[in-house]
């Protein structure tokens, strides 16, 4: 059964590469207009060009999701261009931590929480107010299996993703009767540029990452994108406040 979408416009933050780019392309492939945002202007414009080259419609606006003014301007630009935003995938996030909690520093804490938590909160605040005015919408936030389970040597990152799930569940209840659904997607290790930088230089680390998943491999960005689209589509109309793991069975064991 093909996924169906009542809305016409999707917003994707962190759209310059990886899961964000794959999801933006997937939305466009379903015929939706796409608003793209990222701090990386080159990568964001490249995503927009890929969509246009495939016959879709998209525009990119540079945005630092930790800045309230830039987030507000992004949402206003999307509304000005397309009249509404039906689906929002708050995907922008960072992962810069490798150490035990007692070895952490305040700058790392502020950076991770700033993007992963404040950034999602700022985006949700503007998106929810827009969706209230237009009569509904769907929000999907990028969490992680680190938001469901422990993540040794990544405690701040794990805390940030637990917070994203908390924001998602709380907003889902607050807006359940306003025709707004809010969910989170929780990927395990995915084959992104970030993964390649971190692991593929050391084949043993890459093998270990694959072995973390009972299916014996890491995930693809397209697999996460399809999970996001499912959470947005009409067939998922009874799904809200859910944290959907895309993890090859990693959280089962």
204 belongs to a structural domain: no
129-134 mean pLDDT = 98
Alpha-carbon distances, residue 224 vs 125, 140, 221, 227 (angstroms): 24, 12, 5, 5
206 belongs to a structural domain: no
Residue 64 near residue 118, CB atoms below 8 Å? no
Alpha-carbon distances, residue 186 vs 62, 158, 171, 206, 231 (angstroms): 25, 11, 17, 20, 12
The separation between the first and the last C-alpha atoms of the chain, rounded to the nearest angstrom, is: 31
pLDDT of residue 201: 66
153 belongs to a structural domain: yes
User: What CATH number is given to the structural domain containing 230?
Assistant: 3.40.50.720
Q: What is the pTM of this model?
A: 0.96
251 belongs to a structural domain: no
212 belongs to a structural domain: no
User: What's the pLDDT tens digit per position in 77-112?
Assistant: 999 999 999 999 999 999 888 899 999 999 999 999
250 belongs to a structural domain: no
90 belongs to a structural domain: yes
Total domain count, the chain: 1
List the catalytic residues.
Answer: 157
User: What's the pLDDT tens digit per position in 171-216?
Assistant: 999 999 999 999 999 999 999 987 777 666 677 777 888 888 999 9
Of all residues in the chain, the percent with pLDDT exceeding 90 is: 90
Domain that holds residue 73: 9-190+221-243
108-135 mean pLDDT = 98
200 belongs to a structural domain: no
């Amino acid at each position: 059964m093909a996924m169906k979408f009542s809305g016409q416009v999707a917003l994707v933050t962190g759209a310059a590469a990886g899961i964000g780019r794959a999801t933006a392309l997937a939305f466009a492939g379903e015929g939706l207009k796409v608003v793209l945002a990222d701090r990386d202007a080159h990568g964001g414009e490249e995503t927009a060009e890929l969509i246009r080259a495939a016959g879709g419609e998209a525009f990119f606006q540079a945005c630092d999701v930790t800045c309230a003014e830039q987030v507000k301007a992004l949402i206003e630009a999307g509304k000005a261009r397309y009249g509404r935003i039906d689906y929002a995938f708050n995907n922008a996030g960072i992962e810069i931590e490798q150490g035990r909690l007692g070895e952490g520093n305040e700058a790392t804490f502020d950076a991770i929480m700033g993007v992963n938590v404040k950034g999602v909160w700022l985006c949700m605040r503007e998106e929810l107010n827009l969706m209230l005015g237009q009569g509904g919408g769907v929000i999907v936030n990028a969490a992680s299996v680190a938001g469901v389970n422990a993540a040794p040597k990544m405690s701040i990152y794990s805390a940030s993703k637990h917070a994203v799930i908390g924001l998602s569940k709380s907003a889902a209840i607050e807006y359940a009767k306003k025709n707004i659904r809010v969910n989170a997607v929780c990927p395990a290790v995915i084959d992104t540029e970030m993964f390649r930088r971190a692991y593929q230089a050391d084949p043993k680390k890459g093998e270990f990452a694959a072995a973390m998943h009972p299916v014996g491999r890491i995930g693809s960005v397209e697999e996460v994108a399809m999970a996001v689209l499912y959470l947005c589509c009409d067939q998922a109309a009874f799904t809200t406040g859910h944290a959907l793991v895309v993890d090859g069975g990693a959280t089962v064991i």
